[in-house]
Structure 1
């Protein structure tokens, strides 16, 4: 299993998209078994302040995973409702390049409540 942490910088994008939909651009720096950078786009709706909202994300990572060099795309689907949270965070099938070609898998994300540190445990395999 691959373990990594990342720091994220999120920037609201003021470009109008749809009424009630927020757009955010982000950048991540990855450390640990994943070394590199990623950029992405997040769309969100609902009322996060009240604990009811959802978001979708597309992200492209460039760097190494367990020493293998290439790129991967990640897809996220997150929801929160009444204190219940759901998250699906996967490698987009067919998105791998270089030594990461054919990679498939799931990322399990945790956020340390005290420090705010984001860490993942990646379960990855190859589809060929």
Structure 2
């Protein structure tokens, strides 16, 4: 039986520049603290390129989330893709297929992020089945 749900929460992020040998790219390691119906920690890395000051840039990232979603505990991996074109930003978060463990085994879904007054608010639309 598949269970389709949504969970809301927020996160804070701490990013640290990391070395890379890729010309024109920047690399960052990051940690997140998640709260709300998504509660736990995240660790990951991000590669970015472009010129954010000119309104043109993009990034890819992967993050391992460890914690609880609506009371279910385990880990999963988020894939992230973001871009800025003419100053307009967009992001896409997806749960990597097959990455859920323990009570999150079989989870699929997408995460939307809204930044309000500097706070990252999220809604995870997901299914477990």
Equivalent residue for 1:124?
A: 126
Unmatched runs of 5 consecutive residues or more in structure 1: none
Aligned match of 2:105: 101
Count how many residue pairs are aligned between Structure 1 and Structure 2.
Answer: 124
Task: Give the alignment partner of residue 42 of structure 1, picking from 19, 41, 46.
Answer: 46
| Structure 2 alignment gaps of length 5 or more | 1-5
Q: CA deviation at 1:17?
A: 2.6
Answer 1 or 2: which has greater strand percent: 2
Shift of 1:16: 2.4
TM-score norm. by structure 2 comes to: 0.93
20, 42, 47: which one aligns with 1:16: 20
* Cα-Cα RMSD: 0.8
Superposition misfits of 4+ residues, deviation over 3 angstroms: none
Match of 2:55 among 27, 51, 55: 51
Output the CA distance in 2 between the equivalents of 1:25 and 1:88.
19
If asked which structure has higher relative contact order (CA below 8 Å, sep 6+), I would say 2
TM-score w.r.t. length of structure 1 = 0.94
Distance 1:94 1:65 in 2: 16
Provide the C-alpha distance between the structure 2 equivalents of 1:50 and 1:82, rounded to a whole number of angstroms.
8
